[in-house]
Amino acid sequence: MLAGEPAPTGPARRGAKPPVFPVAAIDDPALPEVLAELAAARADEMDADTVNRELSIARKAIGWWQRQGWIEGAPTIGIERRPAPPDRTKALAENQIAALWRLDVALREKTFGKMLYESAARADEVLCLNVEDLYPQDKRGRITAKGGATEWIHWQSGTAQLLPRLIARRTRGPLFLTDRKAPAGTPMLDVCPETGRARLSYRRAEEIFEENTRLLANPLASPEDIEDLAGLTLHRLRHSALTHDAEGGSSTPSAAGPLQARLRPVPGAVRPSQC
């Protein structure tokens, strides 16, 4: 691109030899306009991540040449990075999951995230849990699954260690609560009779999770830009759990901690009211 030539695409990229280009030519007054046109054409051909990566490489090289005193110009200064929306479908890597658990978040959010990942249940199912639906000694809870069936979800030691602190001395009512008292008109099934606080909604849980994970989803973003970027979604956390289960072979019935054991029907259960 610095030589005024279009970058190769497709199979031609592999093993392509760059043209000879004198560094001093970067100070050519006509280069910024030519470069801007080539960058725009490149953006039409490739995805945003590729274009941004190439632009970053060019700027680092130009900056190094400037520090050597070889050039003065900065021909890429008017070229903006292309917006690259985060991938909301790809499973998180194991190191990203580990980083998620290290976030400095409230006990409620830490417990909710752990339970979602360890159980692979849907967020709305977990939010409908009541304290009386839990069997902590067995690391399981009774939920109303999609379609109305009553089933078990199973969790692991991470959730088991956090639950007693979250429940405290409560014996009934919604497991995950809002920070404030329930507003007038809130259905009684969604109000904790011991604290008067309301059940945490899916919308609010999603908002909090997205805010808490913005830096994790955009590790290269600057602090001043992070507020304008999107974080992770609750669905992506569940998708990661299912993916890691499959990759580890735990989706087979004979495997230890099988996925099938996470959601088992409760024999003879009566369908409860939907929360």
Angle of helix 107-119 versus helix 94-101 axis, rounded to 10 = 150
Q: Count of H helices and E strands in the chain?
A: 9, 6
Neighbours of 178 (CB within 10 A): 21
pLDDT for 248: 65
pLDDT for 89: 56
Q: Say how far residue 53 (Cα) sits from the centre of its chain.
A: 21
Residue 152 bridge partners (DSSP): 142, 264
pLDDT for 261: 44
pLDDT for 267: 45
Question: What's the rounded Cα separation, in Å, for the pair 141 and 228?
Answer: 37
Selection from 157, 159, 125 nearest residue 142 by Cα? 125
pLDDT for 23: 85
Residue 158 bridge partners (DSSP): none
Selection from 165, 116, 110 nearest residue 136 by Cα? 165
Question: What's the rounded Cα separation, in Å, for the pair 212 and 32?
Answer: 39
In sequence order, the 6+-apart residues with CB closer than 8 A to the CB of 142 are 133, 135, 150, 151, 152, 266, 269
Q: For the whole model, what pTM was predicted?
A: 0.60
What are the distances in angstroms from CA 38 to CA 5, 71, 99?
A: 8, 21, 39
Contact 177, 208 (CB under 8 A): no
Contact 125, 143 (CB under 8 A): yes
Q: Which helix (H) or strand (E) holds 240?
A: helix 234-247
Neighbours of 242 (CB within 10 A): 14
Selection from 216, 224, 194 nearest residue 132 by Cα? 194
Residue type (1 letter), 271: R
Mean pLDDT in runs of 10 for the chain (275 residues)?
A: 70 76 85 83 75 82 89 85 64 86 94 93 91 93 79 91 94 94 92 94 92 84 71 86 71 37 44 42
Q: Say how far residue 191 (Cα) sits from the centre of its chain.
A: 30
